[in-house]
DNA sequence: CTGAAAGCGCTTACAG
DNA sequence: CTGAAAGCGCTTACAG
C-alpha cells in the first residue's frame, strides 16, 4: 500500500489564500472567530484546492480529542460479525454514535499486537462487550478514559447487564404447566467439555456465576415453582452455539423413553435445531413438545413455528451503553430481559 | 466525557529512565537499533510506569501511517449491522486485517459530517462496499490512498464484483424445468415505488445496470433457455428486503388463478417469506411450488425446507478485497456466484 | 477580526 | 550503540 499524491496541508492552504493558519483553522472550527464573508471565501477556496478540512490526526494530537469511540469485543471481530447478538448490539451503538457525530473503531481483546495497543490511544472512550481477555481493560482503566462495560461487571465501572435469572425463571414458568411435565434444558458452555452431552449431578454442586449458569438456575427455579424437577441427565451441554450441535443434542433428548415434552434452549439457534429434530420425528410443536429459545434474533420470528423466547434487547443495550458513555453516566444498570410469547411454547 | 488522568508520554519515560526519546522509540519500533539488555530494561520500566507504547496519533502524524483501514459502507452502520450480507463481508475483511495487524475504522457514506470527513484522514486505505453517496469516494480518490471498491465499478479503480447475471441464469435453468412451468420473480428495488406490486411492461424497456436488474435479466434469460416466459405481471417489486413485504408479495402471486409454480426470489429473506405463505396455503415446497433464494445467508440452510439459492460468497469477497488492498493488487476481479442446490427447488 | 508562536507526542535522518 | 534536533499538521491562548 503506497500513497501516490500528498494532500495539501492547512499551511499550504494558508499560503495559497494569503491568511494565517489560525484563520483557516478557525474557518473550520470556530466560525464566530472570523467574518462570514472571509469564512465563505476560505471554504470555497479549500474546496477548489481540494483541501477537505483539518486532518484528524494532527487535530487530535493537539487537542487530545479524536471523536472516535472504540468498541472492544471479547470475541474476534470475525466471530462477532457472525453473532446476531453482537451485531444487534453494534447496531444500537452505531445509531447513537452517528447522531453524536462520533466515529467507530472496532477492536477485539483477543488481539494482543503492538498495533492494537497503539490503536487504543486513539479513542476518546471505550465500550467493552463481554469480559475481555488480556490487559486491554487494565490499560484503558489506567488511561482514565471513560469506559462502559457490558455483560460483565467490574468494581466502580459503569455497566449494562441483563437479568438472566429472572427472565429464565419467568420463561420456565410460562412453558412448564405442571408437575406432570418433563422439562429439559439445552445449554451452552456449561462445562469444560467439547462434547455434546448431558451434564452430571456433580456439575450442579457449585454456585456458578457465568451467564449460562444464571440462566440454568433461572430455568430450574421456574420449573420448581411449577412443581417440576430437572435432573442433571436432562440438561444437555453444548460447547458452541451452532445448529449442528443443537441437532445432536435434541436427538439425545428426544430418543429417550421418558421423552421430555418441554425443552428450554439457551439460544434461538439451539431452539431452531430442536424444532428441526421434532419435525424429523413427527412431533408437533407445541402440541407434543414445547420449545423455547433465548436471544430473540430476527430468525426467531421467521422460524416455523415462531419461537417463544427471551429478548436480550441487544439493540437497546447498545443504545444505552453508547448513551451512557457519551453522557458520562456512571450507573451500573441491570436491564430487564423480556419474555416474548409466540407459537413454540 | 472527561478524562481524569493523563498517561505518561515517551518524553516522560525517557526522563525517568535516563535515556533519550529516540532510544525509547527504538526500543518499541526498531529492536535492532539498541542492545538487547537496554531494550529489555526499557520495556520493563515502561510496564512498571504504565507506559503502553508510543501513541498512535503522534506516530501516525510523524510517519504518515496509522495501520488503520477504513471500510466505507453505502448504508448506515446501523442498517449494515442488521444485513447478513454486509456482516459476512465484514467478517471476511476482519479475518485478513487481524492477520496483518491492521485496525478497522467503520464509516458510512450516508454520513456527511465534518467529523467524518476528518476521520477519513486517518486510514491508510479504504474499502468501499456498495456505490457510495456523497463525496467520500471523490475525496479518497483525490487523497491518493489505496482503495478497493466492491459491488460497483469505477474507472481505473481496483474492484471486486460478482457475476449476478450468470448466476441467476444458471439458477433459473435449474429451477424451471420446461415451457409448461409458470415462473415468477420476487425482486428488490427494481423500480422507484415504495409499494409491493407487480412491475409493468414499460419498466422492462430500458437496459438497466443495477444489480437487481442484472439478476432479473439473468432469470429471464434462464427461463427463456427453458422455453418459458416471465411477463411483467409476474415480476413483483419490493422496496425493502424484509419478511413482511415478502409475505405480501407472495400472497399477490399465489392468489392468482394462473398460480406460478416457480418463484425466483432476489434474497433468502424473500424466499423464506414465500415459504411461509406456501405453508399457509397448504402448498408443498418443492412439489407444488419451487422457491429459490439469493445470498445464501446462514438461515437459508436452517429454513424448512432448506433453500436452493445463490451464494454471494460475502466472506470470500471480504477476504479478497482486504487482501487486494494490503497487497496493492490493482485488478478488477469478477467473482463467481455459486449455485447452491438444497431442498426448495 | 486577524496573525505569530508554542507545543501536542512522536520518528527519523544524522552526528558522534 | 546512543542522543540532539527537526518537523509531521494542527489548535489555542495571546497580542495587536
Spell out the SS3 assignment of B188-245.
Answer: ECCCCCCCCEECCHHHHCCCCCCHHHHHHHHHHHHHHHCCCCCCHHHEEEECCCCHHH
- Do B141 and B194 lie in a common domain? no
Determine contact, residues B249/B223, Cβ cutoff 8 Å: no
Nucleotide with the nearest C1' to B61 CA: D8
SS3 A160: strand
Higher pLDDT, B45 or A149: A149
Cβ–Cβ contact A323 with B under 8 A? no
| pLDDT range class, residue B208, cuts 50, 70, 90 | confident
- Do A137 and A182 lie in a common domain? no
Taking CB atoms and an 8 Å limit, are A105 and B4 in contact across chains? no
| pLDDT range class, residue A5, cuts 50, 70, 90 | low
Strand partners, B188: B238
Taking CB atoms and an 8 Å limit, are A120 and B52 in contact across chains? yes
A55 CA vs D9 C1’ separation (Å): 7
Output Rg (C-alpha) for chain A, integer angstroms.
26
Provide the chain A residues 240-259 that lie in CB contact (below 8 A) with chain B. 243
Determine contact, residues A165/A218, Cβ cutoff 8 Å: yes
Output Rg (C-alpha) for chain B, integer angstroms.
26
B172, part of any domain: yes
Short-list A21, A86, A16, A90, CA closest to A55: A21
Nucleotides of C under 7 A from a protein CB: 1-13
Cell of A185: 434444558
- Do A48 and A78 lie in a common domain? no
Short-list B240, B56, B90, B46, CA closest to A118: B56
* Exposure string for A140-154, b = 16+ CB within 10 A, e = fewer: beebebbbbbbbbee
Average pLDDT in the A118-144 region? Answer: 94
A22 CA vs D16 C1’ separation (Å): 15
Nucleotide with the nearest C1' to B12 CA: C9
Determine contact, residues B216/B190, Cβ cutoff 8 Å: yes
Count Cβ–Cβ pairs < 8 Å, chain A vs chain B.
207
State chain B's maximal CA–CA distance in angstroms. Answer: 89
Which tens digits make up the pLDDT trace of A10-68? 988 888 888 989 999 999 999 888 888 889 999 998 988 889 899 999 999 999 999 99
Higher pLDDT, B311 or A3: B311
Determine contact, residues A212/A188, Cβ cutoff 8 Å: yes
Residue A2: predicted pLDDT: 45
A327, part of any domain: no
A60 to chain B: which residues are within 8 Å by CB? Answer: 57
Least confident span in A82-91, A197-206, B320-329: A197-206
Which of B118, B140, B156 is where one domain is finished?
B156
Which of A140, A156, A172 is where one domain is finished?
A156
Least confident span in A201-215, A248-262, B69-83, B151-165: A201-215
- Do A146 and A218 lie in a common domain? no
| pLDDT range class, residue A209, cuts 50, 70, 90 | confident
A75, part of any domain: yes
SS3 A129: strand
Cβ–Cβ contact B156 with A under 8 A? no
B232 touches strand D (CB under 7 A): no
Provide the chain B residues 94-133 that lie in CB contact (below 8 A) with chain A. 94-95, 97-98, 101-108, 111, 113-122, 124-125
- Do B119 and B245 lie in a common domain? no
A58 to chain B: which residues are within 8 Å by CB? Answer: 61
B299 to chain A: which residues are within 8 Å by CB? Answer: 299, 302
Residue A1: predicted pLDDT: 46
Distance (Å) from the C-alpha of residue A297 to the closest C-alpha of chain B? Answer: 10
Provide the chain A residues 273-302 that lie in CB contact (below 8 A) with chain B. 276, 279, 298-299, 301-302
Nucleotide with the nearest C1' to B36 CA: D1
Short-list B68, B115, B56, CA closest to B93: B68
Taking CB atoms and an 8 Å limit, are A145 and B3 in contact across chains? yes
B143 touches strand D (CB under 7 A): no
Average pLDDT in the B246-270 region? Answer: 96
Least confident span in A2-11, A60-69, A73-82, A316-325: A2-11
Residue A190: predicted pLDDT: 94
- Do B286 and B170 lie in a common domain? yes
Please give the Cα distance from B230 to B233 (Å, whole number): 8
Sheet of strand A197-198, all strands in order from the earlier edge strand to the far edge: A197-198, A235-238, A183-188, A262-265, A290-292
B34 CA vs C15 C1’ separation (Å): 17
Residue B5: predicted pLDDT: 62
Nucleotide with the nearest C1' to A62 CA: C8
Average pLDDT, chain B: 93
Residue A204: predicted pLDDT: 87
Residue A3: predicted pLDDT: 45
- Do B26 and B141 lie in a common domain? no
Distance (Å) from the C-alpha of residue B208 to the closest C-alpha of chain A? Answer: 32
Nucleotides of D under 7 A from a protein CB: 1-13
CA dist B290 → A85, B1, B174, B196 (Å): 32, 56, 10, 21
Residue A328 pLDDT exceeds 90: yes
A315 membership: H or E segment, kind and range: helix A314-326
Identify the residue whose Cα has the smallest distance to the C1' of D7: B62
Which of B104, B132, B156 is where one domain is finished?
B156
B338, part of any domain: no
Q: Say how far residue A20 (Cα) sits from the centre of its chain.
A: 47
B70 membership: H or E segment, kind and range: strand B68-73
Please give the Cα distance from A125 to A70 (Å, whole number): 6
Cβ–Cβ contact A44 with B under 8 A? no
Higher pLDDT, A209 or A127: A127
Nearest Cβ partner for B105 among A61, A103, A142? A103
B63, part of any domain: no
What CATH number corresponds to the domain at position B36? 1.10.260.40
Average pLDDT in the B316-337 region? Answer: 97
Which tens digits make up the pLDDT trace of B87-114? 999 999 999 999 999 999 999 999 999 8
Taking CB atoms and an 8 Å limit, are A81 and B101 in contact across chains? no
- Do B32 and B115 lie in a common domain? no
B2, part of any domain: no
Backbone phi and psi for residue A318, each to the nearest 5 degrees, phi listed first: -65, -45
Average pLDDT, chain A: 93
Number of domains making up chain A? 3
- Do B306 and B259 lie in a common domain? yes
Backbone phi and psi for residue B243, each to the nearest 5 degrees, phi listed first: -55, -40
Nucleotide with the nearest C1' to B38 CA: D1
Q: What percent of chain B is predicted at pLDDT more than 90?
A: 81
- Do B198 and B307 lie in a common domain? yes
Contacts of B281 (CB under 8 A, 6+ apart): B254
Q: Which stretches of chain B are DSSP H helices? A: 10-17, 21-29, 36-49, 56-63, 77-80, 84-99, 114-119, 136-143, 164-175, 211-225, 243-254, 268-280, 298-302, 314-326
What CATH number corresponds to the domain at position B115? 3.40.50.2300
Average pLDDT in the B311-336 region? Answer: 96
Cell of A344: 413454540
Residue B4 pLDDT exceeds 70: no
Least confident span in A168-172, B161-165, B236-240, B297-301: B297-301
Provide the chain B residues 163-222 that lie in CB contact (below 8 A) with chain A. none
Residue A226: predicted pLDDT: 97
Average pLDDT in the B54-75 region? Answer: 95
Taking CB atoms and an 8 Å limit, are B113 and A125 in contact across chains? no
Taking CB atoms and an 8 Å limit, are B104 and A103 in contact across chains? no
B336, part of any domain: no
A111 to chain B: which residues are within 8 Å by CB? Answer: 98
Residue A260: predicted pLDDT: 97
A329, part of any domain: no
Taking CB atoms and an 8 Å limit, are B53 and A118 in contact across chains? yes
Return the sign of the alpha-carbon dihedral for residues A24, A26, A31, A34: negative
Looking at chain B, which residue has its C-alpha nearest residue A67?
A: B115
Please give the Cα distance from A24 to A59 (Å, whole number): 13
User: Which domain, by its residues, includes B90?
Assistant: 68-156
Looking at chain A, which residue has its C-alpha nearest residue B325?
A: A1
Contacts of A126 (CB under 8 A, 6+ apart): A69, A70, A71, A72, A140, A145, A146, A147, A148, A325
Which tens digits make up the pLDDT trace of A283-297? 999 999 999 999 999
Contacts of A181 (CB under 8 A, 6+ apart): A226, A228, A261, A262
- Do A111 and A170 lie in a common domain? no
- Do A45 and A111 lie in a common domain? no
* Exposure string for B131-161, b = 16+ CB within 10 A, e = fewer: bbeeebbebbeebebbbbbbbbeeeebbbbb
Determine contact, residues A114/A95, Cβ cutoff 8 Å: no
Distance (Å) from the C-alpha of residue A29 to the closest C-alpha of chain B? Answer: 10
Nucleotide with the nearest C1' to B51 CA: C9
Please give the Cα distance from B157 to A295 (Å, whole number): 42
Residue B2: predicted pLDDT: 45
Residue A287: predicted pLDDT: 97
Taking CB atoms and an 8 Å limit, are B118 and A64 in contact across chains? no
Amino acid at each position: 500500500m503506497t500513497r501516490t499524491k500528498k494532500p495539501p496541508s492547512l499551511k499550504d492552504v494558508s499560503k495559497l489564500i494569503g491568511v494565517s493558519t489560525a484563520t483557516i483553522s478557525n474557518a473550520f472550527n470556530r466560525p464566530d472567530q472570523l467574518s462570514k464573508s472571509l469564512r465563505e471565501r476560505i471554504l470555497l477556496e479549500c474546496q477548489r484546492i481540494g483541501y477537505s478540512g483539518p486532518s484528524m490526526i494532527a487535530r487530535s494530537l493537539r487537542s487530545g480529542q479524536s471523536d472516535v469511540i472504540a468498541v472492544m469485543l471479547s470475541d474476534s471481530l470475525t466471530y462477532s460479525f457472525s453473532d446476531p447478538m453482537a451485531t444487534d448490539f453494534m447496531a444500537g451503538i452505531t445509531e447513537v454514535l452517528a447522531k453524536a457525530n462520533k466515529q467507530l473503531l472496532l477492536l477485539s481483546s483477543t488481539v494482543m499486537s503492538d498495533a492494537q495497543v497503539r490503536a487504543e490511544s486513539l479513542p476518546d472512550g471505550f465500550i467493552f462487550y463481554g469480559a475481555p481477555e488480556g490487559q486491554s481493560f487494565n490499560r484503558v482503566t489506567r488511561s482514565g478514559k471513560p469506559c462502559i462495560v457490558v455483560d460483565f461487571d467490574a468494581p466502580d465501572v459503569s455497566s449494562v447487564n441483563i437479568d438472566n435469572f429472572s427472565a429464565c425463571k419467568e420463561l420456565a414458568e410460562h412453558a412448564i404447566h405442571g408437575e406432570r411435565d418433563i422439562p429439559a434444558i439445552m445449554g451452552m458452555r456449561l462445562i469444560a467439555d467439547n462434547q455434546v452431552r448431558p451434564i452430571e449431578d456433580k456439575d450442579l454442586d457449585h454456585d456458578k456465576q457465568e451467564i449460562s449458569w444464571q440462566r440454568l438456575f433461572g430455568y430450574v427455579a421456574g420449573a420448581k415453582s411449577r412443581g417440576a424437577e430437572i435432573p442433571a441427565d436432562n440438561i444437555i451441554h453444548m460447547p458452541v452455539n451452532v445448529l449442528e450441535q443443537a441437532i445432536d443434542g435434541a436427538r439425545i433428548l428426544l430418543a429417550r423413553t421418558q421423552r421430555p415434552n418441554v425443552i428450554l434452549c439457551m439460544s434461538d439457534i439451539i431452539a431452531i435445531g430442536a424444532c428441526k429434530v421434532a419435525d424429523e420425528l413427527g412431533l408437533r410443536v407445541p402440541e407434543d413438545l414445547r420449545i423455547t429459545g433465548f436471544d430473540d434474533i430476527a430468525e426467531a420470528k421467521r422460524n416455523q413455528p415462531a419461537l417463544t423466547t427471551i429478548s436480550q434487547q441487544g439493540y437497546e443495550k447498545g443504545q444505552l451503553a453508547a448513551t451512557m458513555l457519551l453522557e458520562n453516566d456512571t450507573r451500573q444498570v441491570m436491564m430487564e430481559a423480556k419474555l416474548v410469547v409466540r407459537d413454540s411454547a
